[in-house]
Amino acid sequence: MEKIFCDGSTRECCVVIKGAPRIITYLEPKTVNESEYIAAITAVQLARDSGMTDFAIFTDSKLVVQQTTDKNKCYASNLAPYCTALRGWLGADHIPYKHLQIYWIPREENPAGHELERIANQRRNKNGIEKTDG
């Protein structure tokens, strides 16, 4: 089973497949939770487009994991379409995936989060703002 990592920020999301980060930049800012969902959906789409059939999504968003696995309800109207879409991917028996699950991991273990942090630090340095550690 292939592990795919994802993370989101207000400006972009990142998906890491086979160690290679893919950055998707938004035209309009998103909320962090919207972006976390977009990252997870993008992870499934990129895996599908590359022909993968046996993979799992790893994210540091507890909200996304808990809402898409029905541990918590999704009440926010801006998140409901994303939640419904991701639930559809996770629960679809008709798609050719052997094992499609979504798991929570700590931020420190998420290479997609590390990549977004690196990009944010580069942006801060470019703008003359002191670099942070996290």
Q: What CATH fold (topology level) applies to the domain 2-126? A: Nucleotidyltransferase; domain 5 (3.30.420)
Residues making up the chain, counted from first to last:
134
**41-73, pLDDT tens digit by residue?**
999 999 989 888 888 999 999 999 999 887 889
Domain residue spans of the chain: 2-126
- Euclidean distance between CA atoms 83 and 67, whole angstroms: 7
Give the CA diameter of the chain. 51
What pTM does this model have?
0.88
